[in-house]
Amino acid sequence: MSADEADSRATSASSEERTHENARQHVVAVDGDDNEEGTVNRLDAHTGDGIRHRAFTALVFDGEGRILLAQRSPEKRLWDTHWDGTVASHPVQGQTQKEATRQRLEEELGITPDQYDDLRVTDKFEYKRYYPNEGVEWEVCAVLKLTLDDLSMDPVEEEVAGMLWVDYDHLHQHPKWYRQLRLCPWFEIAMRRDFD
């Protein structure tokens, strides 16, 4: 391949990245103590060495202590087809973690606020993980929990490839038994901290 062809391919790839849905969104940049430092382009925050930003993971339980794992869509740029517990995303500027969680639960799974009444923030941690050849997550991540009174849901295929109810204690005690699920790193951290 000539140098001109390589340049042309690089320009094309860069153009495709810029038209990706994430390039049209912004996340809240934060310091290590989760103090806001303005907004940054979501794609920029997740490429190269990344930009630290605010995020959340929401763990959804039933009344028997099972957690709902949701498999990320194969269309996701990062950690596609990995299993998350249950949704993860980023609040927009001016949005609380609880507001963002309610929004994503409804958008991804069709779970509405009348199905639970105990949404709460239980933890917060910073982590940084690279996804080979694709990008990085560098987040101050809040952990939220809730228990569903009504288990009905309507998952959106573009967001969720599969769902699985798992005994939370068993998952933590026997991680090797669930290795084939390929859990998202932020969920693994949240679960480990939950039991420490």
Q: Domains in the chain, ordered, with CATH? A: 53-195 (3.90.79.10)
Per-residue pLDDT tens for 99-136? 999 999 999 999 999 999 999 999 999 999 999 878 99
pTM above 0.75, yes or no: yes
Is residue 67 within 8 A of residue 85, CB to CB? The reply is yes
What is the predicted pLDDT for the residue at 134?
83
The mean pLDDT value of the chain amounts to 88
Residue 40 CB neighbour total at 10 angstroms: 17
Helix (H, G, I), strand (E, B) or coil at 132: coil
In tens, the pLDDT along 139-187 reads: 999 999 999 999 999 999 899 999 999 999 999 999 999 988 999 999 9
Cα separation of 101 and 116, whole Å?
12
Question: What whole-number distance in Å separates Cα of residue 76 and Cα of residue 196?
Answer: 31
Q: What is the pLDDT of residue 14?
A: 42
In this predicted model, what pLDDT tens digit does every residue of 41-73 receive, in sequence order?
999 999 999 999 999 999 999 999 999 999 999
Report the distance separating Cα 69 and Cα 142, nearest Å: 17
- 10: tokens are 């690089």
d(CA 50, CA 87) in angstroms, rounded, equals 21
Q: How far apart are CA 58 and CA 78, in angstroms?
A: 18
CB–CB of 52/139 below 8 Å? Answer: yes
Distance of CA 100 to the CA centre of its chain: 12
Average the pLDDT over 74-91 and give the result.
91
Query: Cα–Cα distance between 163 and 171 in angstroms, integer?
Result: 15
What residues are annotated to the active site?
139
